[in-house]
Amino acid sequence: MARGSTRPTSRDVAQAAGVSQAAVSLVLGDKWRGRVSEPTARRVREAARELGYRPNLAARNLRLGRTRTVLLVVPALTTEFFAGVYTGAARVAAEHGFGVVLYPSPEGVGPARDPFASAQSALDGVLASSMSADALSAIRGDHLPLVMLDSDPEGSLGATTVNLDIADGVRQVAEHLLDLGHRRFLHLAADIPSWTFEVRARELAARLADSPGTTLRTARAAISVEDAQRAVEAALTAPGPRPTALVCDDDKLAAGAYKAARRVGVRIPQDLSVTGLDDLGTATVIDPELTTVRLDAEAFGARGMRTLLAVLEGETPESGDMPVELVVRTSTAAPGGR
């Protein structure tokens, strides 16, 4: 068939590949495994590429009763982490012919409003990062499939969860600081009622409780440089022995801690070791560079979208928390600069 004359059809692809139209539908719909051989699937894809064939998604969606659109809900766009989640999710969605609508919830981690007249008629599913299932009831209703990232598996209300191994990341931080010889700890905790921050506090306290002679104090701050600076400045000037290690719930809080340390004449890392969690761009901009836990936001978003697509197809998604990695830089050292 001459290119550009008429739009190629699935029948054209089937004829070119020497297979049935049903086989073409299975392969191009990514449902061929176990039903069509690998060489046949490859032949169909090559024929479709040579002919310039594109499925009629509008007709297919009408037939399946789908919009091929999913909603990604995040509590805010104040850090690059959520931008990375979106990038990974959108890439996987595009590979499967889906679009992603990004929705920063006006209520943060609180109950999210329905951004549409009826989300259930406009969407195929919802992917939510760092939210709780009950905060999404107005959007999800009783019908839309929901996958939650960085959320409590026990409180998922039937939703599927995908999590980073935050608990292990905190344990890696604690082990690193304990190995350096630190025993007086300050935890700069994010003042947000969120499961992921509860995990950080719980795991840090549990790990330090297993080490004789350690003390742990907690200061709380909203995730902003200014609030973190005020909280850490107050903690460092409070009566009693000063902490030698500061564990921050995220890198933005650590940046505020740096400013507080400078204001009160505390040197990092000679007088105070500081750690973060995220490994955002901030981590290598501040001086000294920040020891932090690397969370691969793009891979996290991609895994979340693959999970949602599996749920939509009635398939079993990948299980297990995603591993995280402690990146040791120059913001941590032995107490007293030894």
List, for the chain, all residue ranges whose pLDDT scores fall below the cut of 50. Answer: 1-5, 57-65, 110-111, 114-119, 121, 141, 338
Q: How many CA atoms lie within 13 A of 5 on its CB side?
A: 6
CA–CA distance, 122 with 171 (Å, rounded to integer): 42
Q: How far apart are CA 80 and CA 267, in angstroms?
A: 28
Q: What pLDDT, on a 0 to 100 scale, did the predictor assign at position 133?
A: 65
Domains and CATH numbers, the chain: 10-55 (1.10.260), 64-163+297-321 (3.40.50.2300), 166-295+326-337 (3.40.50.2300)
pLDDT value for 137: 62
The arrangement of strands across the sheet holding 215-221 comes to: 215-221, 184-190, 245-248, 273-275
Residue 161, helix vs strand vs coil: strand
Please give the Cα distance from 128 to 278 (Å, whole number).
18
Output the pTM of the full model.
0.77
d(CA 95, CA 101): 15
Length of the chain, in residues: 338
What one-character DSSP code corresponds to residue 134? G
* Dist CA 64 CA 69 (whole Å): 13
